[in-house]
Structure formats: C-alpha cells, structure tokens
Chains A and B, each alone.
Chain A
Amino acid sequence: MDDQLIITIIMFVIMFPILMTAVIMYGGQHSDKLRNFLSLFTVLITFIGVLLLYPEAVSGRVFEYQLFEVLPGLAVSFRLDILSYCLVIISSFVWLLAAIYSIGYMAKEHSQLRYYAVLIFTLGSCLGIFLAGDFFTLFIFFELMSLIAYVLVIHEETAEALKAGYKYLVVTIIGGLAIFFGVIICFEAAGTVSIGEGPLITEASSLAWMAFFAFLIGFGIKAGMFPLHVWLPDAHPVAPSPASALLSGIMLKTGAYGLLRMVFDVFSPELMQAINLHAVMMVLGIITIILGSAVALTQDDIKRRLAYSSIGQMGYVVLGMTVFNEQVLTGDIFHIFTHAIMKSTLFLAAGAIIWKSGIKKVSGMAGLGRQMPVTFGCFTVAAFAMIGIPPLNGFLSKWSLCLGFLEDGYIFFVVILLLSSMLNAMYYLPIILPAFLGKEEIEKDLHVDDEGPAFNINEASKWMLIPMVVLALCVFLFGTFPSNIPFELSNMAAKFLLTGGF
C-alpha cells in the first residue's frame, strides 16, 4: 500500500469516530436501532481500519504527517510507529467489544444517545492521542478525551456520580495544565515538540526537573500513579460498566503511553539515568503496586476492588518503564495489552453480575457462580491471569518483566512482583471461590428491576456475554502460545524504543 493511503487511513481512524458522533447524535434522536447500528458500525469500521495498518506498522517504518500548523513551531501532526500501533490496536479492539456489550447493558438506561455519542467521540480522541506526532497534538487530544470522558463518568447522575465526576474533572484539569507546562518547557528548550526527532531535553538542568515533574504529574494523574490516583477509585466504579472497562482498560493506558513517550522522546533513557529521574518513577511505581493491591483487599464493592486493582497493575507498567532493557520493555508493553484485556473482562463480567442480580458487594456474591457460570467463568479466567497463573497472558507479562528485572539485577522488583501477585490472589479468590462453592444468599441486597417481573438470576443477554467470552479467550490464547501477536508486537516495540529499529 502506498504511503498516501496509509496516511489517509491514519487520519480516517481518528476523524471518522469524531465525525460520526455528530451523525449519531442526529440520527439517533429518532430511532434507537439506528443509533445502536451506527455506533457499532463506527467502531467496527475503525477497527478494520486499524487492522489494515498492520502490515505497514510491523514493517518497521514510521509514518509522519503534518496536518496544519497552528503557530510557528507548533503543528498538528500524526505519527504511526510500532508503539503507537500496539496501543491503537488494543484500544480499537477493546472498544469494539465494549460497544457490543453496551448494546446489551445500556438497553434500559437513560440518556443512551448521550452515552453512545460520547463513547464514539472518546474512541476518536483516544486514537488521536496514540497517533499524535508531537506533544502538542497529544495534549490537544488528551484534553479532549479527558474532558469528554467526564460525561461517561457522571452518566448515572446520582449524587455519588456527580461528586466523583467533579473530583475527576478538577484533577483532569490540573493534569492538563501540568502537561501544558511541560509542553511549554520542551518547546522553549528544543524549539519544537515533535516526537521522533530525538530527545527534546538533552541536558540536565532545573528545566529538565521541572519538565519531568510536570509531565509526571500530568500523565501520572491519568495513569493512576500514586499519589495522583485519588480520583480513580471514585470515578471508575460510578461509571456504567462498559465505560468502566474502557476507563480502566484503555484510558489509563493513555497516561502510560504519555509516560513512555516522555521517557523515550523527551528525555532519553541515558539522561534519565544520569540525573536519577528514573529512581523517582521506580519508587512511585513500587508504592503504587503495593498500595493498589493492598487497599483492594479492603474493598467490598466489586467495582472499587477492580479499580484499586487497576491502580496496582498500572504500577507494574510504571515500574517497567524505568529499567531499560529489551526484556523488561517487552513485558511492559505486553502488560499494557494483557491488562487491557484482563481488566475489561473483569469489568464487563462485574457489570453483567450487577445488571443481572443487582448485587454490587463481593460479600453478597456467594453462590452466584453456579447461576451465572459463563460470566463467572470469564471472570475466573481473567482473575487467574491477573494473579499470574500460567498459561494465561497475565503470567506471560509478569514472567517477561521478572526475567528482565533479573537481567539487570533488580531482584527487589521481582520480590515486589511476587508479593503483589500474592495480594492479587488474596483479593480475587474470595470473589471466585464463594461464587462457585458458597451457599446461596439471594435474599440479601437483591434489588428488583422495576421493569418486568423479577427475573431469575441466569445469564445476561448475548450482547453482553459474547464480548466477555471473546476477551476471556484472548486471555487464554495470548498466554498459551508464547509467540502470539501481541507479544511479538510488544517485542518489536521494545526493540524500536531502545534501538530505533528492529
């Protein structure tokens, strides 16, 4: 395929969802079916577009395209390299499944038009973040995505949701301003903010420290890194479950992507090691891992538990970014893949449980597993992968990380990883085991859906089941065969980041 076509496809996958938002808002006013169809259509076409880019991305070439110049030195430009591609493909894939799931989950909800419109828009802006060719474009799409995702967070419009949404909004704006500060410093230091033209900050100075902390705060807020994670445990649970899956699964990764770009394109790994910036990230990463896993133990609400688990898992990603060898980076990027898949499965399953039975608390889920076997089966597979049990994909990413840590002599990190896996087990097993083996306690906390008769607790609708099963299969597939596509992509991306080619 020639270059012009590639660039057109890149622009297409970003712009198409954003433009279709307007179409959905207009067309969906009159017909629910049309709205659902248009949403699914948009996500599917976007995913196909991303798939079409596969052969070019894995060939190792980098595509850059400048759309227009806003100010002298600042332009809106786009870039596709293997790292972008990794994130783009997992995003569009999970988004597709979440959209299918939404059709089932949101069937009886209010304001569905708003929900679908925002869902599609955030898809476009997420892809814009990953395909951004310079930090200015990244900043634009980052702000857009964060602000519009607010509508997803407050969808339920309960007092709790509004409070969580307000916290999210304030923290997001602070994060946006921090990134703005960082972009200005880079622009002053380097005269440009393009990605891929070599590190923007090349000497250790107070400027470097300021830029580091600005970007760390800005992207760390999004990635849920300690101590900037405070919005996460409130915001992810109050959103509707497919939105939670996307927030936890993909939008956290935008923060991680930003941090990766910061490490490799703003500062180079050598500079970071020279001025010990990576030590800051190491410490924060470790605290995040321990904190996330430990606090998850204390949560009874299943979605809050999953949210804290996300915090812990993102700690792995942050920690992995600080050790610069190929094995660790492969594991790091592969963990982005695996966590996206695992956490989405978990949230979708939790959503199905809540939707069907109204039970939000883990303590009340005893015996449900026998009544919803498929849902809990997917949940179990994903949970085992989180814990790190072979031959699932979570094990593979942790294995890769551990091997890499050992290679560079960071045995302490391996210990931390094992410790957190144990903590993971301690908070996932109490969900799974009583579900399958416990006594039924249906009388507690059952809230009856007003519409229609009180239904039996059996499986959720096929719209909700199929994405879950697909994701669970992915968990299984990408773990069992060591040379699977995401792993290879991660490996290529790691090589690319470290050496510039593969």
Chain B
Amino acid sequence: MDLISHFPVILVINLFIFAFAMPLISRRSNNWATIAASFSLILSFAISITLLLKVLDTGAISYYLGGWPPPFGIEFYIDYLSAYMLIVLTGMGLLIFYYGTASLPFEIGRHMVGWYYTLYLLLIGAMLGIAITNDLFNLFVFMEISAIAACAIISIKKDRECLEASFKYLILSAMGTGCYLLAVALIYMITGVLNFDMVREVLVDNIALYPNNVLVALALIGVCFCVKAALFPLHVWLPDAHASAPSPSSAVLSGLVIKIYAIALIHLMFRAFPLELFYQVPLTEIFLWLGAIAMILGSIFAMTQDIFKRMLAYSSVAQIGYVFLGIGLFNPTALLGGLLHILNHAIMKSMLFMIAGIIIYTKGLKKVREFDGMGSQLRWTMTAFIVGSASMVGIPITGGFISKWYLATGAFEADRPFFIGVIIASSLLNAIYYFPIAIRAFLGEPKPENLPVRPVLKHMLIPVVILTVLVFYIGMSPQEVVGILELAIDKLFAQ
C-alpha cells in the first residue's frame, strides 16, 4: 500500500479520527488524551514537512480523493503556498496545543479537556483542509467545520461572555458562509463544474457571456472572506470572541483561523478566477483601502482598551489589515509581504496571547493598568513580551520588520507610496500601545495585589520561549521562508 501517496488525505483524516476518539480516550485519563492528541498533531506536522519537501523537489502534488478525478471527484492540490500554510498551521497548532495542555485544566476544568482536544483537532484538521482543497464545495464543507469548531472552542468555557461572543461569531460566520454558498451556486450555474482549475478554464473563455454572475459571485466571496478574516468593517465579532475565550483558543483564533480565510481568498482569486478579471474589477482596490483603514483604526481602538486581551484582539484587526494590504496592492512583492506577515503574525500574536494567559494564570490580572511591576516577578514572560511588541512595531532583526519591508517595497513598486505612510503610521500607533505596557511592567511599582498567586508552569513558558527564538530567526535569516514564498507567488501570477 503506497502510503506516501495518500499523505494529503492522511494529513486531514488522522486529525478527524483522533478528534472523534478523544472523548473515549479521555474517559480513561486526561494524560492519555494529551498523548493521543499530541501524537496526532505531530504526525500531521511530520506529514506537512514531508509534503513540503516533496513539493519543493518535484513540483505541485495533485491528489484525487478516492481516486476519482475531477470533475467527478474532489481534488486536493498542494503547491508551494499550500505547503507553506500546512507547515504554519501544523507547527503553530502543535505549539499552541503544547501550551494548552498546561493552561486548559485551569481555564475550563479538567473534565472538559478531552472535549476541548476534540474541537481543537477538528479545527486544525478543517483548516488544513481549507489550505489544500481544490474544490469549491469542499471548501464550503471545511469552512463550516472550522466555523463550528472555532465557535465551540470559545463557548467551551462556561462563561456568560463566552457564550454570547461565540453566538455572535457563529451568526456572522453563518452569514458569511451563506454568501459563499450563493456565490458557489452562481458560479456553478454558468460553469457546471466545481474544481478550481476547471472553473477557471471555463471562465477564461466565457466570462463575457455571464458578467453579472461572476461579478455578484466575486462580491459575495469578498463579503464572506472579509467577515471570516475580520477585515474592517466586518470585524465586529472579533474583539468579544478573542478576548473572552480561553487563552489557547484566542491564540489559535487570532493566529491561524483568521489567516486561513485570507489564504482561501487568495486561492480563489488566483486559481478559480482569471487573473485579468482583477485588473478590471476593483475588488483589490477595495481590499487595499479596507486594509489600510483597518491598520489605522484597529490600532486606534486598541489604544483605548483596558482589558489586555481585547487590546490584543483589536491589534489582530489591525494586523490582518497588513495581509489585505498585501493582497490589495496586487503585485508580487507586496503579496510576499502579506503572506510572510501571516507567518509572522501567527507567531507574534500567539505568543502574546500565551503571555496573556500566563499572566491570568499566575496573577489573575486582566487589565492593562494592573500590569505595573510585573517584570520583576515574571521576567521571562515580560521579556518575551518586549520581543513580541518589538516585532509588532517592526524593529529590525525581528520578524515583523521583514514583512513590513516587503509590504513597503511592494507599495513603492505599485506606485502608491501613500501606503508606505500608512504602514509607518500604523507601526507608530502599535508602539504607542505596546511599549508603555512593557515599560510599566519593568519599571512601575507593583501594586499590593500583585502578590504571586501561583508560579508559572514550565509547559506554559516553553512555547513562549520557542516562539521568541522563532521571531529572531525569521528576523535575521528569512531566506528559506522567503524562498518558498517567492516560488509560490511566481506560480500564482504565472497565468
């Protein structure tokens, strides 16, 4: 049995199998559940690496589910961009999971941990599916799975705010999915096929016959992915959802979930629609301006927030604006910056949410103004916070600088230097709300209530340290990642 050729489907299916087995395993004990879930995630990570190496070696991989070729069957298509996202998803999924094993028993109670693993593995599996699928309807199915899983990992915490935030997220997400399904219906009406490449073939020849269908479909797809990726002004669900969720959920939501929809959007734009369409339809222009506004307004909102996690959530709104700026500028360099920012932000934001979780765990503090003097007791944590905020601002030798460099260069090449000003203004705004926290943490006077409640768990700190090292690694030698992305972008634009 040629197992290796089935890797793309094993990647996703093993997570689903383990997800459904979790409740049974966790009846035995939580430790077994942790081991099983870790095994599943590590397996997926190993498969992702193998797939990346194979793709770099031999080019894109096309896998037909069940052996049925399109248009009869569903195709999984792994090219450079998908392989890159696979690594990001499984790698970060693993690190956040590692953090979660330490922090979850405290946040949601020991008895719920097994159920949480179920949802987490479902979420990661669904996101992997979104990254590699090549079929319109399959994308819908995976999007729905990930929507349910994402809402559930928020509402698993028995907290009033969590439930309400989760419901809001679900409703808005369902609205987005409804729009997407309508778009698929409209496209199916005129092409009769659902596979990305086949749809594009039909559209390239026949788009002049059915311009309205395609335009409406594009608009609906734009709305759907703007809601799901939390682009301004459809970001309203994000602050509540990310702030009230347990910390590993916040980390995975802010770091991975909103990004995968940006990737799905890129896949649709470049693989399912003819490229010339975007030079005539101002969709990218809309993304560009919305992204720019998001960058500024997200930071401005973040400045006014008192609760730390809400501040980080609004910061995510601003950072997803960078990715959409990259998409909107629509030239290779800017897109490279946007895609690299996906990785950078995943690392930075997950690290910051983990730090928030550590602070809540050790001190029970949620508000920013209570963080004074924390640095003397939580040295490693707050040092990592300084590194994370430096990367957010874009200080050189950290990863954030590299993605900002590419975005700025891309803005220049697209002949729109105004957006360099937007990037710079947004960096400044980021500094204004991140640095005072770090300063006060190290130099402020600890308030009397800041007595240590519990010591930091090793397992909570190790992922934070690993991510800090990654920040510096990407800042100082991003060549490998950039190399993969350049191959990906060449392929995207080469039509």
Contact = CB atoms under 8 A, between A and B. Distances in A.
Nearest to B436: A166
B440 to A, nearest CB: 9
Contact of A173 (B397, B405, B408, B428): B428
Interface string A155-193: 001000010011001100110111011001101100000
A242 B10 CA distance: 64
B412 A188 contact: yes
B405 A140 contact: no
- Contact size range, B: 20 to 34
B395 interface: yes
Interface in B431-480: 431-432, 435-436, 439, 443, 476-479
B443 A70 contact: no
A210 B476 CA distance: 28
A180 B424 CA distance: 9
B420 A69 contact: no
B476 A181 contact: no
A174 B428 contact: yes
A70 B409 contact: no
Given A188-B412, A188-B413, A173 B478 contact: no
B134 interface: no
A184 B476 contact: no
Contact of B443 (A71, A162, A173, A187): A162
Contacts of A166: 436, 439
A177 B428 contact: yes
Consensus secondary structure, chain A interface: helix
Nearest to B482: A71
Nearest to A188: B412
B52 interface: no
B402 interface: yes
A215 to B, nearest CB: 14
A71 B428 CA distance: 24
Given A157-B443, A166-B439, A184-B405, A69 B412 contact: no
B193 to A, nearest CB: 40
B431 A184 contact: no
Contacts of B428: 173-174, 177
A154 interface: yes
A68 B405 contact: no
A395 interface: no
B443 A188 contact: no
A118 B343 CA distance: 32
Contact of A143 (B396, B405, B435): B396
Contact of B409 (A143, A144, A174, A187): A187
Contact of B477 (A70, A154, A157): A70
A71 B435 contact: no
A169 B395 CA distance: 13
B263 interface: no
A291 interface: no
B477 A173 contact: no
Interface string A128-164: 0000000010011001100100000010010000100
Nearest to A155: B443
Contact of B396 (A139, A174, A178): A139
A177 B396 contact: no
B320 interface: no
A343 B179 CA distance: 69
B299 interface: no
Given A143-B396, A166-B439, A170-B432, A177 B424 contact: yes
Contact of B420 (A139, A173, A181): A181
Contacts of B478: 70-71
A184 B477 contact: no
A184 B397 contact: no
B393 interface: yes
B195 interface: no
B402 A71 contact: yes
A140 B397 contact: yes
B479 A69 contact: yes
Interface in B284-298: none
A169 B412 contact: no
Contact of A184 (B408, B439, B443): B408
Contacts of B424: 177-178, 180-181
A184 B395 CA distance: 15
Interface of A: 68-71, 74, 136, 139-140, 143-144, 147, 154, 157, 162, 165-166, 169-170, 173-174, 176-178, 180-181, 184-185, 187-188, 210
Q: Which 4 A-B pairs have the closest CB atoms?
A: A140-B396, A177-B424, A188-B412, A173-B431
Given A162-B439, A184-B405, A188-B413, 19 more contacts: A70-B477, A70-B479, A71-B482, A143-B396, A144-B397, A147-B390, A154-B439, A154-B443, A166-B439, A170-B431, A173-B427, A173-B428, A173-B431, A173-B435, A181-B408, A184-B408, A184-B420, A185-B412, A188-B409
